[in-house]
Amino acid sequence: MPSQHEAPPPAEADPAPPLRRSRGSNVVGGVCGGLGRHFDLDPVIFRVVIGVLAVAGGLGLVFYGFAWLLIPLAGEEESEGRRLLMGRVSGASLAALLMALIGCGIFLSTLHSGGVLGFTLTLSLAVCGAAVWSQRRRAGGETEGGSDTVTVPAAAQAPPETKAPPLYESPSWWRDPIVKDGSTGKLAIGYLWGPHGILDEDGTVNGEVPKPGSQWGPDPTVSGRPTPSIRRSPLSIGGLVFLLALLAGGLGTGLTWDTHPLGTSLQIGLAAALAVFGLGLVVSSFLGRTGFGTVFLTVVTAGLLALASALPERISTEWVRETWRPASVAAVQPDYGLGTGVGTLDLSRFPLPAGSTVATRASVGAGRLEVIVPKGAVVKLHAQVGLGDLQLPGAPAGDIDIAPDRDVTRTLTPPAGTTPAGTLDLSLEVGLGQVEVTRAAS
């Protein structure tokens, strides 16, 4: 016989409820309430953490926006993201998409801040660990009483779910037995779209003569029969929104092309196109519908706008070629600049006496900057390239190495056997392109 103190067999723990957005415990979209119910934690914890992550780097907005789009509401199986992809735009899906886009923009602007990224990553990992621990604690459900340890379920077993009664299945021609011609029995007549009856030997159905053309079904002329309504699909406005966005982007860029830098002109055009896309999504939530292409182009336009805002302001829209050749030390300017194109600074034409020092700066927004230094000069070089290549004297010809954020400080000594000259202090900068420093042949 089993011992009186023997513990009962462990009962199966309640599974965690499915991840759904909350209807009752919601402040914005019900995401934090749903997370709290699923992981058995106070929703206030998730609200505080997401608020902190939203302020520190925008990652909280990104998470909340995409969670709002991807997690269905309690009692529903279709998420806002699926409705959005099917062209059924609503105010909730627009708010979630806008929140995610704003969060992405803030997050991209803080990529160079290592401290912010480290803090957000640490806080995110801590919250994920707490959520997993809470869910496993509820699944375990162990309690201690006296000297014996009894394993009990985390929650009482719920009664069986109430189900609707089974639907009535009407007879069908592929399930009912086939009655051969000449049979004296009665044939059960049943159609998926009409009532059922018994076809007697005298040709009557349930004792009544069927009307011609009725196929033993109800008379279509009987009053009171509901008339099927024709539901028209909403008008698709995706093509019109795309054409208007293309026109707005072209006008915004074209009207500012000659008077603004390249980055500013692109930002104006992309912002105009994004405004049209946003207005189209708002209109489609009340009238008509848009397709997945409109949503995809909206996200792409927002990404291009973020890239355009990162372009240096000195990049112009006009490609030019310019050469600077100072004839003497006094003629050397402190600064040489070019927006977009090829700039050549030739410093080999003037004598540079030994012991003298000449300092100058040259920059190109996008393109190529070539500097020619005297053969016997000592060059103190500080070169910066945002994205591109840097060529120095002595490097193999054709050795192009494109890399981001190049910052080189180096002293270039003249080759042996040359007549010593003075010192050149050069500060070179190219946002996008190539910097090349060469020595004059003589």
Out of 112, 129, 152, a domain closes at 112
Tens digits of per-residue pLDDT, 211-249?
554 444 445 555 555 555 545 555 677 788 889 999 999
Domain tally, the chain: 3
* Residues 335 and 405 occupy one common structural domain: yes
Tens digits of per-residue pLDDT, 365-374?
889 999 999 8
* Residues 244 and 330 occupy one common structural domain: no
* Residues 326 and 304 occupy one common structural domain: no
The whole-number pLDDT of residue 368 equals: 92
Out of 112, 138, 165, a domain closes at 112
* Residues 260 and 358 occupy one common structural domain: no
What is the C-alpha to C-alpha distance for residues 176 and 52, in angstroms, rounded to an integer?
67
Range of the domain at 290: 238-310
Q: Is 106 part of any domain?
A: yes
**Token representation of residue 223:** 């009053």
Residue type, 11: A
* Residues 248 and 301 occupy one common structural domain: yes
Q: Is 170 part of any domain?
A: no
Report which of 151, 120, 132 is spatially closest to residue 41, judged by C-alpha positions. Answer: 132
The whole-number pLDDT of residue 202 equals: 59
Q: Is 62 part of any domain?
A: yes
pLDDT averaged over the chain? 75
* pTM of this structure: 0.47
Tens digits of per-residue pLDDT, 299-348?
888 888 888 887 777 787 888 899 999 888 888 899 998 888 999 999 88
Tens digits of per-residue pLDDT, 148-164?
444 444 444 445 555 55
Dihedrals φ, ψ of 139, to 5°?
-70, -35
Structure letter (DSSP) for residue 206: T
Report which of 243, 271, 239 is spatially closest to residue 255, judged by C-alpha positions. Answer: 271
Out of 95, 112, 129, a domain closes at 112
* Residues 349 and 260 occupy one common structural domain: no
Helix axis angle for 43-55 and 31-39, nearest 10°, is 130
* Residues 375 and 430 occupy one common structural domain: yes
Q: Residue 194 forms beta bridges with which residues?
A: none
* Residues 306 and 361 occupy one common structural domain: no
* Residues 268 and 362 occupy one common structural domain: no
Band of the pLDDT at 427, cuts 50, 70, 90? very high
* Residues 346 and 429 occupy one common structural domain: yes
